[in-house]
Structures are given as structure tokens and as C-alpha cells.
Homo-oligomer: A and B are copies of this chain.
Amino acid sequence: MYFKINKKAFLDNINIVSRAVSLNSPLPVLHNIKLSVKDNYIQMTASDGDISIQTSIFSDETSNLTIFEEGDVLLDGKYLSDMIRKIDAEIVEVETIDGCLTNIRGLQVNFELNGIKSENYPVIDFSQPAESFELEADVLKNIIYQTCFATSEKETRPVLTGVNFNCLGNVLTCVATDSYRLAQKRIVLNNNHNFNITIPAKSLQDVSRIINTDNDITISLSDKKVLFIINNILVQTRLIDGLYPETSRLIPSEFSYELLVDARDLLNALDRASFIKNEGIYLVRMQMSEDEIVITSRSNDVVSEERVTPIEYIGNPLNISFKGNYVYDAIRVLNAFHVKISFSGNMKPFILKSVDDQNVLQLVLPIKTYN
């Protein structure tokens, strides 16, 4: 195995596959990146068992790739990334010199890294499942941004640690919930599909960070896995087993109170009081009437009180308490100038929507208080 490559192109690809390198895996072989040098391209693969990533680098003006000899080797992901990051040359030479002993050369510096035979790496099946659809890169990133934060961090109900992708006809509904809040995004696809899968939130966040293109992204899925094709990058993740709860009936459709407010005003007010925690919870009380919204946060030692003028408020005065960070997160991801919040009572879930985008919906459960 012997090739020359542009340092930055090589490092960018190492950083991408490194997202799947498992530093703490009980299988030491997964600490490695599999490097395969073919006739006219090189391929890097890494996997932590849950997510697997493969990139292919071809020879072009960015990669400056020249291949002298084919071959495969497993190289420690952490060492390889440190070496290429620190190397002192624009073009890096990589050559196995004695079995798996690999020589990585810059200008003044010369690294040697003891590799492992590639036969020791598990076989990873990157074959493309038949069910397939395409999304613009920005649309996929937005789905992930607007839903992932609402997944549960607790493993007690594993299915809630993922985002549910449910497609009926040409409508794709993506839902995340931790039982106290819920995020739902709807997308209309070009073709009809029928699937219902739950993708781990962590894998989706990795996909979002890897997306480095404006091109469409192909998403192919079976009942076992989902594969994202991002130009020359394949990202494949396991699915979460188990039935995702039927969330549509949780979303109220009739409301008695409606608040229209400047998103920035409300975000600032919530952020200002966010250092006040009561028994670990950042609890906010909102008192609404036609003239003003009074936002109060309190702990034993501190009180914060703030007045915001609504654009419009319809309904009788209402007092409602909630986790401040839940409402803050929900408004933040709506990315809107004006937010409409619809309530049906001070102990009923309420809904936050952008005035300009009806396809995304955020739901938050209030908290009962005794003062």
C-alpha cells in the first residue's frame, strides 16, 4: 500500500469516519480506521457497532491523490488523526513498509504506526436497501435540528431516544418526544412510501454534522437499518426496535387562548432568568392578558420578573408554569420572527408554531405549581 494525498482532503475524510471510531469499545479492533487502497481510489471505514461510516476519495484537484500500490491496513483512528493533523506538509505520503508497519511522511517529520491486518476488521454490509427517497441537504438538516433536541436522554424507554420517521403516502412525519415535550415536522415527498422507523438521535446528529454539500441526500431503509448517501460518504445506522407511541392523539386541536409574540423578546426574557433554578428545575410562570405577559422565575433567594408586550392575545387572562428551557428550545428551533402559542388550559399541553411555517409544531406540557 503506497499513496500520496493532500493533507487537508485526507484529514477531512479522517474526521468524518472518526465519528464512528469507538474509543471505548470492548472490541479493540473498532478503535481502528480501515484504510483500503484500490486501483483508482482509497476508501476509509469505521464503525462503533451502531453507526458505520465509509468515505471514498478519488483523484481530483482537491485530493491530489496518487496511488502507487494497492493494499489494506487497519490504523488506530486516534493516532492517525493526530498525525495527519500535526504533519508539516501539504502532501502526505502513506506507505506500508513491513507487513502492517505504516510510514507516514511529511517534510521534516516521519511517523511510523504499527497497523493491524485488515482481515481482523468485521465485515460491514453497506448494501443499499430498496426503499429509497431523496431530501435536499438543508431539509434533512432542518428535520434533525427541529426534532432531535426533544428526544429522551433516558434509556428506560429506548424508543424515545430516537426520532420516528413515519411515511404514509407522500407525507413524511418526523416526531421526537421525551414524554414532557414533543417536536413534529412534516415533509411532502415526491413519491409515495410506506414505512415507520425510529433512528437513534445520536446517529442523526452525526449525519447532520457530516453533511458538507448542497446536493440531495439519498436515504435508503429497511426494517433493520437506514443508509444515508452524502456524495462519496455512506453513513449507515441501526434502527431502534420497538413500537413508537401513537403521538398524534396527544396533540390538541381546540384552543381557548392564543398568544402571538415576538420570538426574540420571549427568548431574551427566558434566557435572562435561566440561571434561577428551583430544586434543579428552571421553572417559569407566565401570566398572560391582553396588555402584557409577566414572566416570573423564582428560587429561595432570587426572583426575576419581566414584562413583555404581546403582539396579540386572545382569551381570558391565563397563568401557566413550565420548564423555561423547554419553551426556550422549542422557540429557538422554530427559527421564526413571530411565534403563535396556543393553550387549552393551565394544565393542558400547549403548542408553539411559527407564523410562517405550518409544517413544524412544538408541544410542551405545563408543570403544576402551588403558588
> Any chain B CB within 8 A of the CB of A232?
no
B301-A79 in contact (CB<8A): yes
List, in ascending order, chain B residues with CB within 8 A of A50's CB.
Answer: none
Q: Which chain B positions have C-beta within 8 A of A114? A: 300-302
A86 interfacial by beta-carbon distance below 8 Å: yes
A130 at the interface (CB under 8 A from B): no
Complex Cα–Cα for A16 and B82 (A): 38
Report if A87 contacts B (CB, 8 A).
yes
Q: Does A112 contact B (CB under 8 A)?
A: yes
A337 within 8 A of B: no
Q: Which residue of B lies closest to A106 (CB)?
A: B272
Query: Does A109 contact B275, Cβ atoms closer than 8 Å?
Result: no
Question: Interface centre among A110, A272, A300, A303, by most B CB within 10 Å?
Answer: A272
B272 touches A303 (CB 8 A): no
A72 at interface by CB-CB < 8 Å: no
CB within 8 Å of B: which A270-320 residues:
271-273, 275, 300-308
B111 engages A302 (CB within 8 Å): yes
Q: Which residues of chain B come closer than 8 Å to A300, judged between CB atoms? A: 114
Bound Cα distance from A269 to B110, whole angstroms = 11
Copy tally for this chain in the complex stands at 2
A-side interface size class: 20 to 34
- A113 is an interface residue with CB less than 8 A from chain B: yes
Residues on the B chain within 8 Å of A109, using CB: 269, 272-273, 304-306
The B-contacting residues of A in range 108-122, CB under 8 angstroms, are: 108-114
- Taking CB atoms, residues of chain B closer than 8 Å to A110 are 304-306
Q: How far is the CA of A111 from the CA of B297 in the complex (A)?
A: 9
**Measured between alpha carbons, how far is A300 from B76 in the docked complex, in Å?**
12
Q: Which residues of B contact A192 (CB under 8 A)?
A: none
Is the C-beta of A88 less than 8 angstroms from some C-beta in chain B?
A: yes
Q: Is the CB of B76 within 8 A of A301?
A: yes
Q: Provide the residues of chain B in CB contact with A88, threshold 8 Å.
A: 268, 272
Q: How far is the CB of A14 from chain B (nearest CB, A)?
A: 14
Q: Digitize A80-110: 1 where CB-to-B-CB distance is under 8 Å, 0 elsewhere.
A: 0011001110000000000000000000111
- Distance from A294 Cβ to chain B, minimum over Cβ atoms (Å): 10
Complex contacts, A76 vs chain B, CB 8 Å: 301
Chain B residues whose C-beta falls within 8 Å of the C-beta of A306 in the assembled complex: 108-110
Q: Is the CB of B86 within 8 A of A272?
A: yes
Within 8 A of B (CB), among A220-276: 268-269, 271-273, 275
Decide if B275 touches A112 in the complex (CB within 8 Å).
no
Closest to A76 in B: B301
Question: Across the two chains, which residue of chain B brings its CB closest to A75?
Answer: B301
Taking beta carbons and an 8 Å cutoff, which residues of A are in contact with B?
76, 79, 82-83, 86-88, 108-114, 268-269, 271-273, 275, 300-308
Complex A-B: 11 CB contacts under 8 Å: A76-B301, A79-B301, A82-B275, A83-B304, A108-B269, A109-B305, A110-B305, A111-B305, A112-B303, A114-B300, A114-B301
- Beyond A86-B275, A87-B272, A88-B272, 18 extra complex contacts between A and B, CB < 8 Å: A79-B275, A82-B275, A86-B271, A86-B273, A108-B269, A108-B308, A109-B269, A109-B273, A109-B305, A109-B306, A110-B305, A111-B302, A111-B303, A111-B305, A112-B303, A113-B302, A114-B301, A114-B302
Nearest first, the 8 closest Cβ-Cβ pairs linking A and B are: A112-B303, A82-B275, A114-B301, A109-B306, A86-B272, A110-B305, A111-B304, A108-B306
